[in-house]
Structure 1
């Protein structure tokens, strides 16, 4: 079903509207499910990402670590609100520079409480005969009014989302994401085994 989302009607949200709508629904949800499929993005608002693409890996990791304090506070707010975050991250081997960088961040998020698991992208090749699976977030598990976003990117940069509210569709997609997540490897095991000791990525052209 996830591979059909692009062909289904949805509410089109520009970036500002998506961010506002997401925040409004996120803090009312009991759970967040996220599926991450693409292995290259651009995050020009992140100093750590900018340092990575410029080839200063040591600075990039230092800046990533400095994000920990803000994430600690975020996790405290999640815990107070009773919100659980789960993410399935598909990976390639060897990782792209972006993926190598992001997994360092996700390893920190997992230390603090986000439940992140990893699957090789080849495990879903049979689902991607027409196109890669989309980037999807479902807000709400037992919530009476869950929402789902098919997150949109333009040239690798976040640009908005397509919003779905049909309960049957959301429940179906959530079950698929849950199944992938249950089959995944905990990032706390994957990261030291496959990512932590890799050499720094080369500078990137953007």
Structure 2
């Protein structure tokens, strides 16, 4: 069902609307499930990403580490409210420059409490008969009003989302994400074996 989401009717949200809607629903959820399939994006609003793209890897990693304190406070609030965050991140070997950069950030998130597992992109193939899996975020498991977003990008940059609220559809998609989760490898085990030793990625341009 995940691969069919782009062809199903949904509420179209601009970037500002998506951010507002997400914040309204996120803090009411008990658990979040995020599926990341694409291996290249652009994050011009992130100083760490910009430094990576410009070829200053040391600066990029330093700026990423400076995010730890704020993320720690975010995790403390999640813990206080009883919200669990789980993420399935598809990876390729060798990683793209974006993926190499993002995994350095995600390992910080994982060290602080987000539960992240990785899977090779080949594991997505059985469900990609109608196209590459979308980027999906599900808010809520036991919630009476779950929400699901098919996150949209333009030229690799976050542009908005398509919102779904139909419980049965969300249940099916959540189950598919959970199946990937069960197959995945913990990021904190994967990272030192596959990512930590790699040389700096090539400059990408901003």
- State the TM-score, normalized to the length of structure 1: 0.99
Alignment-derived partner of residue 129 in structure 1: 129
Q: Secondary structure at the match of 1:174?
A: helix
Alignment-derived partner of residue 82 in structure 1: 82
Supply the distance in 2 between the matched residues of 1:125 and 1:175 (Cα, whole angstroms).
17
Q: Deviations over 1:149-189 (max 9, x none)?
A: 00000000000000000000000000000010111000000
- State the TM-score, normalized to the length of structure 2: 0.99
Supply the distance in 1 between the matched residues of 2:127 and 2:179 (Cα, whole angstroms).
14
Alignment-derived partner of residue 185 in structure 1: 185
| 1:68 maps onto 2:68 in alignment | yes
Regions of 4+ moved over 3 Å: none
Supply the distance in 2 between the matched residues of 1:204 and 1:43 (Cα, whole angstroms).
12
Alignment-derived partner of residue 150 in structure 2: 150
Pairwise CA distance, 1:95: 0.2
Q: Deviations over 1:44-78 (max 9, x none)?
A: 01000000000000000000000000000000010
Q: Is the 8 A contact 2:4 2:130 kept in 1?
A: no
Which deviates more from structure 2 when the two are superposed, residues 37-46 or residues 125-134?
125-134
* Structure 1: tracts of 5 or more residues without a match: none
Q: Deviations over 1:100-151 (max 9, x none)?
A: 0000000000000000000000111122233110000000011111000000
How many residues matched? 206
